[in-house]
A and B are shown apart, each in its own frame.
Chain A
């Protein structure tokens, strides 16, 4: 699903050049649930941004489902993001004056899906994350866990090839974190490819594979026995 070869990225910090990614080689198969771990400054967020086409690499190859991702202009990148990727952020990033339903429907709006179909689909995904009754509430009326569920539903709504989650439990307490991970695992069980950036060990162990980044290189890449989050959830 994702093929990356010799990816380099550096940032210009004043007169210094900060080499963040120093040649990453990395493949993700369809249906995988991968945790990308590393301390801050290890380059894990940069990698995720490049995977999410929010940032561009200096050199190296990136194939998404066989499609080479390079030399994209803003419009093209936007279209690819819309079609291929779903984002889940640490701080939820819901639009605060839109209801849960409207937030979930937003990627579909940019896909050009008609209003009625949009609403139906959005409601379907809200139901999947267990928030059907909350569809007409504003984000400010939802708890942190509920907000992240809405964000997950929004990421799912566009039916992307890959879900990218950046510290999705970073703003949540551990009980809620497990609930969200339970949801992520269930979505993965349905065959969705998911990448989770985290620095929390327990969250990483709920994935099927852990990729360890340190100082811009992959130091460890192992398949693990998945810990099911459902056992922590009543």
Chain B
């Protein structure tokens, strides 16, 4: 070990490396490229990973939607094709029978699944927009970002059946003047005046949401559109550690039992499992991460083999020099260490430069994509353990590959090396 920290050792190494600068540089570029690819790929896939995470960050990752359709199997005396309508009370029953449900909220809408939205008027401007009747709990499943000064609907709005709405970004642009503050203003929805309490920043929290959506308390919606205790669909969030696919099955099973639907009827209850879709996308991202790791490591390996190759040539060229060193008293161990250290040093040098360059490029890409929120790419980083792991791999590979030329160097007898040709 003392050998490693000896200044003289390093002078010897720099001496022989510096002897052929062009070759050293080209060799270094081989490994540098490898580690650069590794860092860039690992960072990019992490960025993609983060980007997907960000796109889903406003949604509970274990959420699913369930709605009713028409039956496709006759059951319990009912004919085929019976139209099912879910009830608000189903929520409580579901919560009781499926313990993995963390939140559940019934939703009613108009203008979302076909049909015209409600006509909304502010002074002389008017347009049609989809209307949602939400329970305040929705906020726990799908975070609604409300612009400054505004708020989301709350329990009191619900209990008092207040005529308040949260409008979308586009709704604000289309119904209000640019310098007009919509908060506190009244707009007319299907003939009834509502107070605007917030403007929601658009994010895709449901598969069907738009930036024009208008949200009002569920109770107000019921009164306005006379929906009784009907619920168009349920938004359900399972606990983080729950198996969301199983929850989906359980929810459907319970709903079928409540509404007397044949257990094998696949059509009567529709559902969309966001958690599963999310899991699939994250799985895809993980696959990319894994792939980039493999490609990166393979590239590093190729680079390190290049170093071994060059050192082998270098040893052949330096046969005479190594012979002189042996004649002057260099032991085989010293010659071997010299070559191996050269290999490791070159590998590490290349590795560190490659890491710095890779980080630079990642930073550049990050700056270029920062303002583009549609592109699923955020904060590309390479975890430190991966970087340290790569460096370790390089030291190990550098040593192993250095062993070949080192052994070659030692096997040359000084007398052969010095023989006059």
Give residues in A with beta carbon < 8 Å to B: 49, 52, 54-55, 74-75, 78-79, 81-83, 87, 89-91, 93-98, 102, 106-107, 109-111, 115, 154, 158
Contacts and interface: CB of A to CB of B under 8 A. Distances in A.
A21 to B, nearest CB: 15
B329 A97 contact: no
| Best-surrounded residue of B16, B329, B414 (most CB of chain A within 10 A) | B329
A109 B327 CA distance: 13
Contacts of A83: 329
A87 B15 CA distance: 23
B330 A95 contact: no
B328 to A, nearest CB: 5
B327 A54 contact: yes
B376 interface: no
A146 B332 CA distance: 30
Interface in B280-317: none
Interface residues of B, number: 27
Interface stretch (B29-37, B318-326, B401-409): B318-326
B418 A110 contact: no
Nearest to A89: B418
B420 interface: yes
Contacts, number: 68
Contacts of A82: 328-329
A125 to B, nearest CB: 14
8 contacts: A54-B327, A54-B413, A74-B410, A75-B332, A82-B329, A87-B327, A94-B324, A106-B325
A50 B8 CA distance: 31
Given A89-B418, A115-B8, A81 B19 contact: no
B415 interface: yes
B328 A81 contact: yes
A78 B331 contact: yes
A219 B325 CA distance: 35
Given A49-B415, A95-B321, A98-B15, A78 B326 contact: yes
A75 B334 CA distance: 9
Contact of B329 (A49, A94, A158): A158
Nearest to A80: B329
A100 B418 CA distance: 19
Contacts of A111: 329
Nearest to A114: B8
Nearest to A155: B328
B79 interface: no
Given A54-B414, A54-B415, A55-B415, A97 B328 contact: no
Given A49-B415, A97-B16, A154-B328, 20 more contacts: A54-B414, A74-B332, A75-B333, A78-B326, A78-B332, A81-B329, A82-B328, A83-B329, A87-B327, A87-B328, A93-B324, A93-B418, A95-B321, A96-B321, A97-B15, A97-B18, A110-B325, A111-B329, A115-B7, A158-B328
A-B pairs, top 3 by smallest CB distance, nearest first, are: A82-B329, A110-B329, A54-B415
Nearest to A55: B415
B406 to A, nearest CB: 14
Contacts of A94: 324
